[in-house]
């Protein structure tokens, strides 16, 4: 034994003997030299913990950024003993739930949408104002004219988002030229997959016959220069021109800050973007806002496996690992997680189906060719990654589950947690298979609210449309499920998503697929502990238990016991994030927390518009918003010189 080690042991024994002789313990010495930190005990009307061992409480003790204990005030005071504590009654009349999680959103697209002139088919509740819906053509044109008049100079850009032909009628280049012949006007459709521009905008951006002549045949077929309209592949052709123009550094930073505030005002304490950016410079642009230590939530990212594998098929794992150092502060790239893509988008009905579409001119598409998908899936599976897969159609889901089962049989893995993402159309047999294969589900319940009525008539038919996102079957099977918004496709509002899943109320006001309504507790778990589980973060967040991070959302009512149709209207006081209190600067009333709301005129307008020719390609067109996000990111990255 080395002399130094021996002397250390003898010294320790000497101290212990002397302390014992004086009836003093080493802990006493530690307490004197390093006193225990102060405990803050928060009291509440009710605490919904989502801890099966202690589901309800009225007080929670916090030390620093962690939860120390949960129980009643008397229990926590007794447990504190001699450790100093303070009692904080800020939430005495409130309900505390685990910090809400935005499991799958796109901050880049959201920031661009939030910074535009929003004229949409639903109300949008922003942190500083509520923007009412434009229900019909007349309302849309009036709002567009008002937005034009409010701009300070005659050549200032008018960039607007939310236009939907089925509600607002046709809109062409000539219509926009009549509005202004001096300023560029860019109309970004509600789906985010189409643009309509006026002549000044086309000339300013260099979008002309010469450019369009260089497009592929499919892109040419989906471009109408005379009308200033570009969709699907045609839109992809002009994105490199448009994005750097509308996403200036100043506009992007301001939009990200607004998006950050939007999440906070909706009670979000953790957010994630799966498969978003593959550009270090663009990631830094997002980090400039989201990584700030004053942020009220952490933002996680999952690398885009499609882009990485397509670029580096022989070195994809190493290239994926390089992204781990792209984030810092309040942002982080999740290690050993990857996003892949199966079929197309539900909003465009470009999904792969077992049974054919009804009516309409729709066609299933693959985002990743099945052969490429299989190779990428196997590579990341063998490397031990948790794989998140975008999939919408039941045939697309068959392809995914076939790959999962083949890899399980070839190379079994424990707790792989492969995530079925979006989960629009599926069969009951597939739910059973998901259970057997150990996969989990992250669904978007807003699909039912937004699309069930429309797709019952065209595309899917009543049976498939009403059973979209069949989460009750998933819940009954005991499969872990979470909810996400895919913002800006749906609002990044967890309470709104809960409401959609519990009530399944379509735009017409009817209940679509009432058998698929989930339980209140299941819906709350879907935006808390199960969302955390889907990201591999359940040991840190998602429930109110000793040792976890002190992430809470403070509500005016209990979403598990209030009227089911009032979940989305529950007032939000603010959040506690890792022990730090973040009240909402201006408390919203209950009616102001509902997010996008289909007005009563919306459905009648839709039924009328569905019979018009514009409806043929507007369900809406294009790839999924996840793929679109990659396209926008690449255009910005190219502009940054990467």
Does pLDDT of 189 surpass 90? yes
Beta strands in 571-634 (DSSP E): 572-577, 580-583
Q: pLDDT tens-digit profile of 102-133?
A: 999 999 989 999 899 999 988 888 888 899 99
Per the CB < 8 A criterion, the answer to whether 492 and 447 are in contact is: no
State the DSSP code for 474: H
Per the CB < 8 A criterion, the answer to whether 573 and 583 are in contact is: yes
Per the CB < 8 A criterion, the answer to whether 129 and 157 are in contact is: no
Q: Residues 580, 585, 587, 593: is their CA dihedral positive or negative? A: negative
Per the CB < 8 A criterion, the answer to whether 189 and 170 are in contact is: no
User: 610: pLDDT confidence band, cut at 50, 70 and 90?
Assistant: very low
User: How confident is the model at residue 391, as a pLDDT?
Assistant: 97
Per the CB < 8 A criterion, the answer to whether 469 and 443 are in contact is: yes
Give the range among 66-70, 264-268, 470-474, 601-605 with minimum mean pLDDT: 601-605
d(CA 104, CA 362): 26
Contacts of 167 (CB under 8 A, 6+ apart): 121, 134, 135, 136, 140, 602, 605, 606, 609
Length of the chain: 642
Q: pLDDT tens-digit profile of 425-461?
A: 999 999 999 999 999 999 999 999 989 998 999 999 9
d(CA 121, CA 618): 14
User: 613: pLDDT confidence band, cut at 50, 70 and 90?
Assistant: very low
d(CA 177, CA 153): 16
Q: pLDDT tens-digit profile of 150-165?
A: 999 999 999 999 998 8
Give the range among 42-51, 82-91, 279-288 with minimum mean pLDDT: 279-288
User: How confident is the model at residue 278, as a pLDDT?
Assistant: 74
d(CA 258, CA 59): 33
For residue 191, which phi and psi values (nearest 5 degrees)? Answer: -75, -15
State the DSSP code for 355: S
Does pLDDT of 14 surpass 60? no
CA 164 to chain CA mean position, Å: 22
Nearest partner of 344 among 624, 616, 618, 619, judged by Cα: 624
Q: At what angle do helices 600-610 and 446-457 cross, to 10 degrees?
A: 40
Per the CB < 8 A criterion, the answer to whether 590 and 571 are in contact is: yes
At residue 183, the 3 state secondary structure works out as coil
What does the domain layout of the chain look like in residue ranges? 3-96
Element (H, E) at 96: strand 95-98
User: How confident is the model at residue 590, as a pLDDT?
Assistant: 37
Does pLDDT of 30 surpass 60? no
Quick one: tokens of 56?
Answer: 């309800």
Per the CB < 8 A criterion, the answer to whether 259 and 111 are in contact is: yes
Q: pLDDT tens-digit profile of 520-529?
A: 999 999 999 9
User: How confident is the model at residue 18, as a pLDDT?
Assistant: 37
Does pLDDT of 218 surpass 90? no
Percent over 90 (pLDDT), the chain: 73
d(CA 523, CA 459): 28
User: How confident is the model at residue 15, as a pLDDT?
Assistant: 35
d(CA 312, CA 289): 30
For residues 277-303, average pLDDT: 92
Nearest partner of 627 among 273, 313, 367, 363, judged by Cα: 367
Instruction: Give me the half-sphere count of Cα atoms (radius 13 Å) on the Cβ side of residue 568.
Output: 22
For residues 21-26, average pLDDT: 44
Does pLDDT of 420 surpass 50? yes
Predicted structure pTM score: 0.87
Give the range among 19-23, 184-188, 402-406, 566-570 with minimum mean pLDDT: 19-23
Q: pLDDT tens-digit profile of 534-580?
A: 999 999 999 999 999 999 999 999 999 999 999 999 999 999 999 99
- Concatenating the DSSP letter of every residue in 98-129 gives EPEEE-S--HHHHHHHHHSEE--SS-EE-SS-
Contacts of 155 (CB under 8 A, 6+ apart): 182, 183, 184
User: How confident is the model at residue 24, as a pLDDT?
Assistant: 46
Nearest partner of 576 among 541, 551, 594, judged by Cα: 551
Higher pLDDT, residue 14 or 458: 458
CA distances from residue 337 to 314, 360, 387, 422 in whole angstroms, order as listed: 18, 38, 6, 17
State the DSSP code for 60: E
Higher pLDDT, residue 318 or 32: 318
- Concatenating the DSSP letter of every residue in 246-281 gives H--HHHHHHHHHHHHHHHHHTTEEEEEEET----HH
At residue 160, the 3 state secondary structure works out as strand
CA 428 to chain CA mean position, Å: 26
User: How confident is the model at residue 367, as a pLDDT?
Assistant: 87
User: 7: pLDDT confidence band, cut at 50, 70 and 90?
Assistant: very low
d(CA 204, CA 631): 21
d(CA 572, CA 552): 11
| CATH for 3-96 (1.10.10, 2.30.40, 3.10.50, 3.40.50) | 2.30.40
Residue 46, strand partner residues: 95
Provide the terminal-to-terminal Cα distance of the chain, rounded to the nearest Å: 58
d(CA 531, CA 535): 7
d(CA 267, CA 270): 9
Beta strands in 565-640 (DSSP E): 572-577, 580-583
User: How confident is the model at residue 410, as a pLDDT?
Assistant: 99
* Backbone torsion region of residue 169, taken as left when φ is above 0, otherwise alpha when ψ lies between -120 and 50, otherwise beta: left
User: How confident is the model at residue 32, as a pLDDT?
Assistant: 54
Per the CB < 8 A criterion, the answer to whether 67 and 549 are in contact is: yes
User: 642: pLDDT confidence band, cut at 50, 70 and 90?
Assistant: low
Per the CB < 8 A criterion, the answer to whether 352 and 369 are in contact is: no
Does pLDDT of 6 surpass 70? no
Quick one: tokens of 39?
Answer: 């405990």
Average pLDDT in the chain? 89
User: How confident is the model at residue 612, as a pLDDT?
Assistant: 38
Higher pLDDT, residue 23 or 330: 330
User: 45: pLDDT confidence band, cut at 50, 70 and 90?
Assistant: very high
Q: pLDDT tens-digit profile of 580-608?
A: 999 998 644 333 444 455 444 443 333 33
Does pLDDT of 80 surpass 90? yes
Residue 554, strand partner residues: 96, 574
Per the CB < 8 A criterion, the answer to whether 618 and 232 are in contact is: no
Give the range among 3-12, 90-99, 232-241, 465-474 with minimum mean pLDDT: 3-12
- B/e letters for 473-501, b = 16+ CB within 10 Å, e = fewer, are bbbeeebbbbbbbbbbbbbbbbbbbbbbb
User: How confident is the model at residue 623, as a pLDDT?
Assistant: 52
User: How confident is the model at residue 128, as a pLDDT?
Assistant: 83
For residues 279-307, average pLDDT: 94
For residues 289-306, average pLDDT: 97
Place of tokens 């000793």: 546
Percent over 70 (pLDDT), the chain: 88
d(CA 95, CA 553): 8
């Amino acid at each position: 034994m080395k002399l130094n080690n021996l002397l250390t042991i003898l010294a320790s024994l000497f101290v212990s003997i002397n302390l014992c002789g004086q009836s003093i313990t080493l802990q006493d010495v530690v307490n004197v030299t390093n006193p225990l930190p102060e405990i803050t005990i928060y009291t509440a009307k009710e605490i919904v913990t989502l801890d099966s061992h202690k589901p309800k409480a009225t007080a929670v003790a916090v030390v620093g950024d962690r939860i120390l204990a949960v129980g009643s005030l008397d229990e926590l005071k007794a447990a504190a003993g001699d450790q100093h504590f303070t009692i904080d009654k800020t939430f005495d009349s409130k309900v505390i739930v685990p910090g809400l999680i935005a499991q799958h959103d796109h901050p880049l697209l959201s920031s661009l949408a939030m910074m535009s002139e929003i004229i949409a088919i639903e109300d949008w509740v922003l942190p500083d104002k509520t923007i009412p819906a434009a229900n019909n053509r007349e309302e849309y044109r009036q709002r567009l004219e008002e937005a034009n008049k409010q701009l300070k100079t005659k050549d200032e850009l008018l960039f607007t988002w939310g236009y939907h032909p089925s509600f607002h009628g046709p809109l062409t280049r000539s219509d926009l030229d009549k509005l202004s012949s001096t300023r560029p006007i860019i109309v970004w459709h509600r789906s985010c997959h189409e643009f309509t521009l006026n002549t000044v905008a086309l000339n300013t951006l260099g979008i002309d016959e010469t450019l369009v002549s260089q497009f592929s045949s499919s892109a040419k077929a989906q471009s109408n220069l005379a009308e200033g309209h570009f969709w699907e592949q045609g839109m992809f052709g002009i994105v490199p021109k448009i994005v750097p123009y509308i996403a200036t550094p100043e506009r992007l930073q301001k939009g990200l800050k607004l998006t950050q505030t939007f999440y906070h005002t909706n009670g979000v304490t953790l957010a994630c973007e799966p498969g978003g950016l593959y550009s270090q410079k663009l990631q830094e642009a997002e980090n400039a806002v989201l990584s700030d230590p004053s942020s009220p939530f952490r933002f996680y990212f999952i690398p885009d496996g499609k882009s990485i594998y397509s670029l580096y098929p022989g070195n994809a794992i190493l290239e994926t690992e390089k992204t781990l150092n792209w984030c810092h502060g309040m942002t982080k790239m999740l290690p050993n997680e990857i996003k892949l893509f199966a079929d197309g988008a539900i909003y465009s009905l470009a999904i792969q189906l077992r049974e054919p579409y009804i009516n309409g001119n729709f066609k299933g598409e693959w985002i990743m060719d099945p052969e490429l998908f299989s190779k990428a899936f196997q590579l990341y599976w063998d490397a031990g990654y948790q794989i998140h897969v975008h999939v919408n159609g039941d045939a697309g889901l068959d392809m995914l589950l076939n790959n999962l089962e083949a890899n399980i049989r070839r190379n079994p893995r424990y707790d792989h947690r492969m995530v079925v993402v979006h989960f629009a159309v599926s069969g009951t047999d597939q739910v059973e298979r998901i259970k057997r294969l150990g996969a989990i589900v992250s669904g978007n319940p807003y699909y039912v609210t937004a699309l069930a009525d429309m797709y019952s008539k065209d595309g899917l038919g009543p049976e498939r449309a009403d059973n979209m996102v069949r989460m009750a079957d998933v819940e009954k099977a005991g499969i872990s499920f979470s909810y996400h918004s895919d913002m800006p496709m749906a609002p990044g509002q967890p309470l709104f998503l809960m409401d959609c899943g519990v009530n399944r109320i379509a735009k017409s006001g009817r209940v679509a697929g009432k058998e698929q309504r989930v339980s209140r507790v299941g819906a709350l778990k879907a935006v808390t502990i199960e969302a955390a589980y889907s990201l591999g973060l359940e040991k840190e967040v998602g429930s109110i238990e000793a040792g976890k991070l002190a992430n809470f959302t403070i509500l005016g009512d209990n979403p598990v016991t209030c009227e089911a149709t009032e979940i989305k209207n529950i007032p939000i006081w603010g959040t506690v994030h890792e022990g730090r209190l973040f009240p909402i600067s201006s408390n919203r009333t209950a009616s102001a927390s509902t997010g996008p709301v289909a007005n009563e005129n919306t459905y009648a307008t839709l039924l009328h518009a569905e019979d018009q020719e514009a409806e043929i390609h507007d369900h809406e067109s294009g790839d999924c918003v996840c793929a679109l996000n990659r396209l926008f990111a690449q255009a910005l990255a190219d502009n940054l010189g990467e």
